[in-house]
Structures are given as C-alpha cells and as structure tokens.
Amino acid sequence: MCILVINGNEIPKEKQLTELILKEFPTVKSIIKNINKKNTNVILGEENINLYGNGYIKDILGKFVFKISPLSFYQVNPIQAEKLYQLGIEGANITKDDVVFDLYCGIGTISLFMSQYAKKVYGIEIVEEAVKAAKENAKINKVENAEFIAGDVEKVLTELIQTRSIIPDIIMVDPPRKGLDNISIDNILKISPKRVIYISCNPATLMRDLAKLEERYEIVSIKPVDMFPFTSHVECVAVICRKETL
C-alpha cells in the first residue's frame, strides 16, 4: 500500500504519478491519496481517496488473515510482530475461563490471537475505521468470542467496568508512545486483574506506568523485541502479576 499525504486537494499530474509508482513497484496493490490540511504532528488526515486498487491490502499473521486500511495501525515487521504477540500471549497464560481486555487494539491483531485461548476478548480502540476493520477481521477469521468497541480507552474501560459490570481476568495494553493515561491506570488498580501484559514502543513511558502499578503488581519479566533493525527503537513486552497471585 502506498499512501500519498498532501496538504491540499489535488496532486499535479496525479495519473502519471500513479502510473510511475506502479511501473517502478509492481507489487503495490493499493495507492491512496490522503488529505491532511492540519498543521500538527499527526501524519495522516481523515479523508482518503483511492487512486488505484480497492483501498486496502491483506496480510497473514500466524494463522490469521488481516484486512488493513490506510488509517489502521499495523506492525510493519510482520515476522517480528508474530514473535512480539506470542511473547505477550505466553506471558498472559490465558485459560478458557478468562475474560481479556485488549486496550488500543487497532485492527484486532492481538485480540484475535488471544481469542484462541480465552472465554471472551473485548478490544477497545479510538480509531473508528480500525474498529470496523477489527470486526471485519473477526468475521474473515470466523472468530465469535471477540467484541470490538470504538471510543476513548479510559471512557470505554469505565463503561465496561461500571455500567456493564464486566471485570477482566487479564488486561493487554499496547498504547501509543505517550503511554497510559492516569484514568486507565486507576481503573486497572481498581479492578486488579490477575495479570497485565504491557506492550510498549517507548521504554520511558513503560517504566513510568509500571512504577504507578508496582504497589499492587510485581514485574515478572520485561523482554525487548527488535521490530526496527538498524534503529535505536525497540518494543518491549512487560508481564506484571498481582502480588497475591504469585
């Protein structure tokens, strides 16, 4: 997938550019024009216009097929992503009696992986297009025990706990670089799931958040996964357990 991000409405010689991309890179399945006129550090705007293809691509991760749209978060290194998710699932030690919350679930990648072992998985994600894709991915892969909800993690988490009285046994979090907000951390401490698996792309905010949880939780392991070779970036999988369960 090739996404051309512009701060206007038109690309000069758009048709010729599309033809050149396809000639140079014949494996490209979809070319999209993304319009972002805002002066912020957010790369993609909300409007997508297909220049070539059907606006999405598909990839296989483990035994699952995922439909990926322009606004979907998806790990760009699928080989390492599978290892990353496997580490998280091994650390979670999920059983068929467990209810799992997957916070910042994206298009449902790790939610569907966990659904193989859990009683029920609830995925929460603020990007509505990603949630739509997650629901579609569940259908494609015939997964019936995963429910995906669009909205702010802190608000949906509060609603699930207080309004719907759903208490998870395990929480999986994979937040953006800024880490978890204080409301989500307070909710985690309030309901005290037996295990929390924290996948982080920013070791600094990971350690900040773990420090807020350490009164009730013990850090069992933190394992780095090199998702971006030849760069300084590394992802980490942290497994923490409620102290009385150790």
98 conformational bin, left if phi > 0, alpha if psi -120 to 50, beta if neither? beta
Q: Which two tokens stand for residue 194?
A: 């037996």
Task: Tally Cβ neighbours within 10 Å of residue 26.
Answer: 8
What's phi and psi for 6, nearest 5 deg?
Answer: -130, 155
Catalytic residue among 2, 105, 201, 236: 201
Q: Does residue 241 carry a catalytic annotation?
A: no
Task: Tally Cβ neighbours within 10 Å of residue 96.
Answer: 9
CA Rg value for the chain: 19
Where in the sequence numbering do the catalytic residues fall? 201
